Amino acid sequence: MNNLDPIAVFRTEAAEQLEVIEAGLLDLTRNLGDKAQIDAVFRGLHTLKGSGSMFGFDQLAAFTHHCETAFDRVRKGEAPATHELISAVLDAQGHMQALLDQPNGEHDATSSRLLEQLQQAVGREVTGSRQPSVSVQNKADTPEQASTRTWQLDFRLPADSMINGTNPLGLLDELRDLGECTLSVSAEALPLLEALDPRELHLGWSATIVTDKPRSDIEDVFIFVMDDMVMELKDVTPEAVAATRVVEDAQPVTAQADTSGMSPNEQRMPANDAKSQRQADNVRVPALRLDEMMDRVGELVIAQSRLSQMAGSVVDLGLRSVSEEIERLAGELRDTMMVLRMMPVASLFSRFRRLVHDLARETGKEIELVTTGESTEVDKTVIDRLADPLVHLVRNSIDHGLELPEDRIAAGKPAAGKVTLSAHQTGSEVVITIKDDGRGIDRARVRTKAETSGLIQPGQTLSDQELLQQIFQPGFSTAEKVTNLSGRGVGMDVVKKTIEALRGSIDVKSEQGAGSEIALRIPLTLAIIDGLLVRVGNGNYVIPLSAVEECLELSIEEDLRSRGRSFISLRDDLVPFLRLRELFRTGSQPDQYQKVVVISTGRERVGLVVDQIIGDHQTVIKSMSKLHDQVSSFSGATILGDGNVALILDVAHLIAAGQQQEAQMRAAG
């Protein structure tokens, strides 16, 4: 039984439609004469208006109608496409979202202001602007013949039209509004009563329409079901029929496809039916259901781990065989579930086109946004939580990084600054980079601000990375005054806290006068990871396998020799290591042959001394309780096959602790 709320479904689809409209408007800013984008924006507005009216969002439908009318004039060549018009409709698009969220709210004042802005944008250019503008003329849409014409229309709507909210009677009423209309219904596809699904539409219609409206007005009636319906529209005005016969008589006879074995519907199937079929294969599933299913898969993985442990403790080949088969199936189900939750970062990057457009207007800067690696996929939860940090980073790059056009030209740079968003996958991590070609980070200014704020001691020795990391401290800001964009010192702090909560890390690079680059390293998923299970004292711990570089043996003699320096020599490199037994205060004696697990995040490496390496482990991540929020050494917990709990080590924190220990030892030495 389908218990989805139709209003909730409409809100979801309307939000997607607003995104399509916004993307089309932003594409138009690059090429005002792009007829395909003009048509796409018009169709989006028309769809939103019709759907809003159908579901009772009258304010949304009435407001959208004015924007649709403006773009209809552009589409028909009656008004030019201009940057002022696009900006006005972008502002209106944000108001449409408010009308969607609060359909019964008081929006009259805002609606009036935006409609006046829209009218000025259209009227100013129509009355004669000196700036060159592109006028789009579609010959098929212009009413070059105002005489009355007769049209023969045969159409069949998709079977799921009513399920998706389409009202066939409303479409028929729109046809009658065009002029004199005679309708007849076709019931040839109507199934027998026992096979009839009352939710599906099985009827077809034929209509003869006498009107002075152009062909496009008839097609626009079906604009938001056009891709999925079967429609044949002919001009049967006597002079048009005669002209068609003359042309047909003059054409040579060509071979035609044999359609004798095809049904009438198949013979009239549109060319894009294959595309429509592929779209119909996609199913929209609420994210909450995916989360619930992920939880069930996690519990299954834990149960499978217990079964494997039990099967390994008994001599029963049948039980072992079943255990291995369930382990294989659970692994495949886990991998499939992980793929279902993955989304391309293009859905995240696309949000910043509007942000950059608005910031360019607000700051007076010329900004070019470049995105690469949009096909890189990340867990949906990660993408949702990355939105706010990336907003702060992009705003920071534009406000603090990019210079004004005249300053860039004076520095020998192009007038337009460039902000690049890129993503790529490295093992089980995704690296998202925000790069600009602006002025770079002034290290002297950062140090002065950090010392003034008490974040570091005057004259304190810091590595370049440590100094650059100061920009993420709470309350830190080098802005001279508070503006709408920056100056309060909270944005970068939010970035750091969010990335750390995602078990990620931040790398900063900057060159004075050449720009800055901030790289976010984030795990692909927050649900299930491959881990390395180790024992320290009497406790078990999990190290994310993606961070493990190699494992070494550390004897008691070597352990005693390294006392006081805690370094191991690894292929001519000195790598600091941490004794987890001492860090966790286990109070136990070390094993005779300890192991060193070398972990890294790309550039930095640290060794972790453990008593035993048990093996790989499919780790279902469980959140820590609020009582353990301040325990920074662990990022979560998992349940082992025997029912015991193992803590998951926070790699980023341990590497930072190892580097700090190394710096202290070098300073002492």
- Confidence at 658, pLDDT banded by 50, 70, 90: low
Rounded CA gap, 133 and 122, in Å? 12
Q: What is the mean pLDDT of residues 234-252?
A: 62
How far apart, in whole angstroms, are the C-alpha atoms of residue 216 and residue 233? 11
Strands 573-579 and 548-555: unpaired
Domain spans of the chain, in order of start? 6-125, 145-190+198-239, 288-343, 345-523, 528-668
145-190+198-239 under CATH 1.10.12, yes or no:
no
Do 288-343 and 345-523 come out as alike in CATH topology? no
pLDDT of amino acid 648: 86
pLDDT in tens, 556-606: 777 777 665 677 777 777 788 888 888 888 877 877 788 888 888 666 788
pLDDT digits (tens, 9 = 90+) for 342-396: 888 888 888 888 888 888 888 888 888 899 998 888 888 888 888 888 888 888 8
Rounded Cα distance between 355 and 160, Å, is 37
Q: Quickly name the fold that domain 528-668 has.
A: SH3 type barrels. (2.30.30)
Strand partners, 522: 430
| Mean pLDDT, rounded, for 180-196 | 84
Mean per-residue pLDDT, 298-305: 84
Q: Kindly tell me if the per-residue pLDDT of 235 is higher than 90.
A: no
Q: Mean pLDDT lowest for which of 273-282, 321-330, 439-448, 514-523?
A: 273-282
Angle 547-552-555 (CA atoms, 0-180°, nearest 5)? 140
pLDDT at 227 over 80: no
Maximum CA extent, the chain = 104
> What residues contact 572, with CB distance under 8 A and at least 6 apart?
none
What homologous superfamily does CATH list for 345-523? Histidine kinase-like ATPase, C-terminal domain (3.30.565.10)
Reply yes or no on whether the pLDDT at 422 is more than 90.
yes
Mean pLDDT of all residues in 20-32: 86
Q: What is the pLDDT of residue 565?
A: 65
Rounded distance between C-alpha atoms, residue 365 and residue 373, angstroms: 26
Q: List phi, psi (to 5°) of 359.
A: -70, -30
Percentage of residues of the chain with pLDDT beyond 70:
81
Q: Write down the pLDDT at residue 262.
A: 43
In this prediction, residue 420 carries a pLDDT of: 92
Per-residue pLDDT, 602: 63
Question: What is the pLDDT at residue 129?
Answer: 34
Instruction: Please state the pTM of the whole predicted model.
Output: 0.61
Overall fold of domain 288-343: Helix Hairpins (1.10.287)
The domain covering 6-125 belongs, at the CATH homologous superfamily level, to: HPT domain (1.20.120.160)
User: What is the reported pLDDT for 238?
Assistant: 75
Contact indicator for 99, 11 with CB cutoff of 8 Å:
no
